[in-house]
Structure 1
């Protein structure tokens, strides 16, 4: 309908009477709207891809001259031919009646992708940080979030446990773009553009969420909360939807003649069996309203201390051997602590046992979490145990019950229901525990300044980002839904400064979880920065421009700093985390993360195995983003990583399948073949529980169907 108003305006200029008559009838018709949320879907969005090289057949725009702050020619041209030696492109006006043609320098063109186009996405790694041997990788994707969501339909369809997004609030400030232009306050279609923008993304997000048990969390303010609520009702009719009011700044935003705003809103869209779990506080005040947590098993924690400062020598009594039986894998006895001058390898274990020491993932000597005296007492009562022993490597997973759990057992609040073969207790809660959270939150930790801006300034000194969310507010919102899911997958496709990934890492540290976060953001610069950079003769795609984009300047450095405990200048981060888990920010987290840039591949290149290096990260993501990745085509015709295998020559199926049988965490076997009968024959021979995936048929089919608008 927005297109109709434009056409009527054109007609009024040519024939005022006919235009006025048509406008009157149009308004009468448009007033008879059906019940519900109605808005214009507008023409499909389009995004400029300044980092993508120009190819024959591409849709492109001609860039304005360097130094210009204007939008330039917004017409879409099609590349008919490329003169490589002269670096020129021969263009034809797309959908042009007169078939206009011209030749333009490749440097003055930018590729445009419309959202009705079929795309074949890939990923290029731009760096990683690794501080854990056994944890999955958090993923940060630099790209247009609509296309990144399409990519995730191949890797994570129906697998995501929670989506947390903080979309643009459409406040009238230049906080978001539609069709490569910042939406202005006086845009008559500002609200419907925002709704169309959100609807397209939420429809894909719905495909990614687990249909049996998942949650969508969306924050918003008063400008769009009513429209967003109606949109969510229409898109998720089967879900339970609740809205929470949360105080983000008690001092408020003073507005003359109006109430001072202190709050924002959070929509929780619960899908399937998703429920709000009990909390430690009711989120409004200190009162408690406990309900049942009867029958839940207690959690065992890893005995080795995980903070970076827990090195041998820091606590002399907490570096000692735990002797494990070679045959059974159970704890035999607890050794004595040794001095810093004693080589641990000189300690002779009792016959039939091997010594397990508190070694860090990189092999450095660390500390156990309790003293040997406490370990011996715990062993006697079944509060410490050994699992997954590897005598040849001198390794075993040593678990224990924390002191609070032991106290609860002794006080009768936790019941022992039995024992394992090694005497380790089996225990469950027998009392009421936890609080039902209320729908008005007033938590000091949720203050946007202290929990958001201040934390970000410590992680990235001198770098500014407008209105970052409180780290603790995001953490609390997620805990109600993934606190009991220690392997949850969390997605944020408006990740901004990276708060959601940071919150997931804090949750992992609190309970030893293996949750992973997928963060998606573009590399836009702000409206003011854009004008400044254009005046300096810079354009999107230039190194100086891209270096100031959200992803490269804020998101990636923030995640890197959070994990390493060091700022971009390699200085230890000052200050401490507060509230649920208090410790120095300089300790960082034992987590892994990898950074990627979204690419757009040619279908033929994918089909002929020529784009494998950019498709490889998708295969790894689909298999769980865990361990090593097969980044290049194997010369032997097959390769096996930690969680998946790749067969590129079907004649090598026998050694490939033999290798698969030796991998414990294997999830997927990718088989490259055009012959469906051979694919099925190999699939039948795979180990039980391994998913067969045919390449590149599964990839091409997914995007051929998923991307057609």
Structure 2
């Protein structure tokens, strides 16, 4: 090699030899394949962009000039002549590894959950969505549940905008390359101290997936479960009838499955409510009519010991015209008000007299929140107290603050087994038929059983009432539905982030193309997964109404039976990922596009600050603030200090690192701060650098 005269060729040869000799001799070996691409039909064609013809083949071009609506292009790989095409005939393309500067454009919402933080549904290519979430959620995701393409059927997934045929000799290698890129980013999103990745798969790829997971998650504990999803079996010629699929659990840090009230191998005996786990209910109202103004008599202070969080006394209700800040604090006690995550005045669900009564009986529980900035107050409901009186719930002791330790005596908790065989996990009855009830007339292939997803997540987030659950192969939105059901069962405020693209099926694509439509056309986009299935399914689950406005027929079964038409006390926000010009972002001219990302980075609760102004923004309905003009820092700092207990994040717009550090030094030390727009730009340059 040293005898090669051309230094560039010598270096290229050395790199290839190093690559080949560095490949694994054992374990999983596969080709990385060419970088994946994603089409951006709404992105403006500019000089320097990579494009392809909207109704042409897969060839890529570089735009050399754009004049009067016509682009001069040349083949990306060289060797071809210049061509001229109307920009309307071109679609901008991003290859994985190209820097992206994402934003989020709101496409609607559905609200039925009071002040609860919303679930998110993002229409995006999922690799770029994962990179985007690194800015807002790196190391903060509690659970990821994904149901990726199984690579089993013909043309059921795409690689580089082309459907993969079942007879493609590289289909396994392409699938592994696709999965590895996404899992490497997902690994950075998961909380390394305590989180789980859950992946479902069938027999065609489970061996390769297992090896890939071991390769990516070297320090995790990985276990595979066999789950029966069709007891009748799917007949296969010259083979056994298939009744099950596999679930991989990748457990990071201290994560492990909670004990369960059955072993998952056999359906449990029918149980009444007395057979379910005792769940404490939050004292602060979270659902409908949650504001102070809805019931003024339920707004009053509760005084707790600043060392133990034990409830010491309860104050009197305040009239609406009385400012809570006029109530003096008491020595050695914390004054707890019913404030939501953004600091808005809410209300308690109990009267002062009832709180005093429950405290004396041991049915009121108080503890410091995990972030150390608040107190959680919970109680046993009237129904649970009746069960204690009847013996269906037994008090076995009291904690250090006098709260009852209550258990169901017949609820024998045990380890779940590695074969799951429950009627509730049937994919036809509780997947396909449920989606049909929610979305009459619309078809989605092979949806998961709602209860199967619910059970898998419950093992890991039952004790995390504010967990964040991500699904980047969201499909019909079952994961969001399952998380919302878990919240209903225990009063939690968990939230899901569901990412799906807006692709149409292979058959629909052929029909639309024959009719003269292409991706980006309204007729095409209206039939995409996100617009036609995911968003409507999420809305139907929350409201209890079909897209036609009719009550959804049927009832939830098993845990917490109730009519589906009752809806769920949840909120959801819908977004589409956008691709922004970094120069315009740096100049502050794309603030509205990146505003939802700033909101997400600050916790994703309360209002989004999406308007620029000449000084600073710190609206009472938001839980973060932005300083736009550093010359106004004193007034901004003063306002932040007055609301410090309800704020989660601060942003300072400045190009000067020194100015940023000086201002941050004046802000409360326990509130994270970020410099704009350099932090945003630097994050996405790093995330995409060197990606293959």
Contact 1:409 1:415 in 2 (8 A): no
Change (3 A) 1:635 1:587: farther
Deviation at 1:534, TM superposition (A): 1.0
Alpha carbons 1:166, 1:218 under 8 Å: kept: yes
Which SS does the other structure have where 2:442 is aligned?
Answer: coil
Report the CA distance shift for 1:633/1:324 in structure 2 as closer, same or farther (over 3 A).
Answer: closer
- Structure-2 residue corresponding to 1:53: 44
Question: Which residue matches 1:7?
Answer: none
TM-score, scaled to structure 2: 0.83
Residues 451-486 of structure 1: CA distance to partner in whole angstroms, max 9, x if unpaired?
111111111111000000001100000000011011
Deviations along 1:24-44, whole A, 9 cap, x unmatched?
xx9xx99x9711110000111
Partner of 1:211, secondary structure, is coil
Partner of 2:637: 657
- Aligned counterpart for 1:301 among listed residues 281, 300, 305: 281
In structure 1, list runs of 5 or more residues that go unmatched.
1-25, 65-71, 289-296, 311-318, 335-343, 346-351, 358-362, 389-395
1:407 Cα deviation from its structure 2 partner: 4.3
Match of 1:425 among 403, 424, 436: 403
1:635/1:309 CA distance change after superposition, 3 Å: closer
Distance 1:186 1:326 in 2: 67
* 1:576 Cα deviation from its structure 2 partner: 0.8
Is 1:445 the counterpart of 2:424? The answer is yes
- The separation in 2 between residues aligned to 1:107 and 1:453, in whole angstroms, is 39
Name 1:519's counterpart in structure 2: 498
| CA distance in 1: counterparts of 2:296 and 2:663, whole angstroms | 50
| Whole-angstrom CA distance in 2 between matches of 1:407 and 1:377 | 18
State the shift of 1:228 in Å. 0.2
- Alignment of 1:609 with 2:588, yes or no, is yes
Coordinate RMSD, CA, aligned: 3.6
Which residue of 467, 486, 496 maps to 1:507?
A: 486
Looking at structure 2, the residues matched to 49 and 333 of structure 1 have their Cα atoms a distance apart, in angstroms, of 59
* Distance in 1 (alpha carbons) for counterparts of 2:121 and 2:535: 7
Cα distance change of structure 1 residues 245 and 379 upon mapping to structure 2, 3 Å threshold: same
User: Any gaps of 5 or more consecutive residues in structure 2?
Assistant: 1-16, 270-276, 305-311, 321-326, 328-336, 339-343, 369-375
Residues 1:618 and 2:618 are matched in the alignment: no
Any idea what the Cα deviations from partners look like across 1:589-634, whole Å, max 9, x if unmatched?
1111110011111111111111111110100111111000101112
Superposed displacement of residue 561, structure 1? 1.0
Aligned to 2:459: 480
Note the C-alpha offset of 1:419: 7.2
Provide the residue aligned with 1:316 in structure 2. none
User: What residue in structure 2 maps to residue 156 of structure 1?
Assistant: 137
Q: Which residue of structure 1 aligns with residue 544 of structure 2?
A: 565
**Map of 1:184 onto structure 2:** 165
Contact residue 218 and residue 268 of structure 1 kept, 8 A: yes
The alpha-carbon distance between structure 1 residues 219 and 684, as it changes in their structure 2 partners (threshold 3 A), is same
Change (3 A) 1:131 1:239: same
Shift of 1:373: 12
> Shift in Å at residue 144 of structure 1?
0.3
Q: For residues 141 and 301 of structure 2, what CA distance do their matches in structure 1 show?
A: 40
Structure 1 or 2, whichever has the larger Rg, is: 1
C-alpha distance 287-545 of structure 1, shift in aligned 2 (>3 A):
closer
SS state at 1:661 partner: helix
User: Which residue does 2:334 correspond to in 1?
Assistant: none
* TM-score, reference length from structure 1: 0.81
Give the aligned partner of residue 600 of structure 1: 579
Structure 1 SS opposite 2:562: coil
Report the alpha carbon displacement of residue 63 of structure 1 after superposing the two structures with TM. Answer: 2.3
Q: 1:571 & 1:366 partners in 2: Cα distance? A: 33
Contact 2:430-2:451 at 8 Å conserved across structures:
yes
CA contact (8 A) 1:607 1:696 kept: yes
Q: CA deviation at 1:583?
A: 0.9
2:618 aligns to what SS in structure 1?
strand
| Alpha-carbon spacing, 1:88–1:467, altered in 2? closer, same or farther (3 Å) | same
2:30 is the alignment partner of 1:39: yes
Q: Match of 2:415, SS?
A: coil
| Aligned match of 1:643 | 623
Query: Aligned with 1:445: secondary structure?
Result: helix
Check whether the contact 1:322–1:331 (CA below 8 A) recurs between aligned residues: no
- Counterpart CA distance in 1 for 2:31 and 2:435 is 38
Question: Does the 8 Å CA contact 1:323/1:331 hold for their aligned counterparts?
Answer: no
662-671 vs 187-196, which moves further: 662-671
